[in-house]
Structure 1
């Protein structure tokens, strides 16, 4: 993430010129060796978690399954801390190009753990900056895809929105019911939801606390695609594997450009995008991709 932020800062400061080839090659080097060699990354099957199941369903995809079945995967502090640890593991694994987060068929995550929050006070929330580390999913440098079955309510909906793409099973239900508990969303629900579905729809969702179907959320723009419940995770892993098979530095640049659109004017955003586009011409992968297209063959990306 540091390399991307540094490149982004350089582009803003040097608006009259594109990033150097050396800068973009440094990005690709950081991407391919963010945590050293693959030998330094522990075997994912040997990792131990209390609230998660972590695996690699394909050679290039990391899968995190929320696993608190008795609580419908309610998000507690321990779960979110373990999720951050799992994501750091996959960030350190150079073979992983994309990550999938899912839950059970009954619930992606039915919300935050109310029993854990109920005794909190204002002063404790402020002094501990409660929920601050829950949003680290949104800071991932690798693409994260949410595979949502069942309930994605409150914090569960917010967690899904922190991911880069949301796919849903046909029986999934989304909502922000915090208003019914005398509070408001606290992990980005009012902000990311408004960006995704617009002010009027977001207001309806957060002010009523109602649940909304996967199909309605697809029409509203929150969900990218709806799949049958039983094939959802398999289909999302396929999508993730396709993304992971592409040039990792280019995928990161593309993700950075899309996310920047929420923070810039159209003029600033198109300029930023154009400079990132220019920077890809310092990559071997860009040359390989275009050469492969001209030669009518599959590209062989090396993340350089």
Structure 2
């Protein structure tokens, strides 16, 4: 394996983390020197000379980069949100279903999932597929990310103490750009309420979704929901479902537990007396939520992970 990989946008939080994860790997990594990063001709040449381009750019710049590619053999992983629901792009969540890894492996255009949607879709898609969660259920999704989710400039400002808060809730206009992605890949028929926040720690996400058993199909219980998730991700290398038992109740969540890895853990907490369930996911927003996922997709596309997800 001797694939040449060009990282466009290598100095952002995702680009820098991606380089760290690929350092010493079997891939040949190419980036542009500082004086050429905004040179359109240099970018165009690099984009058309590589085997796989990984775009770690703002949405508009990612669209421009794709438009520059004229070489039909160049394949793309876009870590921005520019193409998350675009026709012709394969969603880069290998655990989405049993065939998604192979779709990624053969794709020319792969869109890396968003950090929040990775968690939400992983929790919800198995339940909608199994008929345990109605597609029109009125969902409210809450999540807290480390401040690195603000991007490099935002993270630097936070660390410098400029307007730093211990917790900053945002997205209250209810127009967050990740919502259509969650709707599409979780197979929802009703737009969920999504309320994200930034915490005063650098990286890691905890996302929670509350459910009322009385609003679910007859016979659905917390245990049945847990069994569905456990079955869906049995054997998955990077998605782990925490045990559910009275002896090991889920009573707290540490958003930083998977930092530095490409892992994500899912959990189900249930109070049978009140008929309430809380689904939760924990992942590194720079790992399974960004650069780690890009490396996982890269290995699928390069053939290193076939046929096991």
TM-score, normalised relative to structure 2: 0.25
TM-score, normalised relative to structure 1: 0.25
Greater strand fraction, Structure 1 or Structure 2:
2
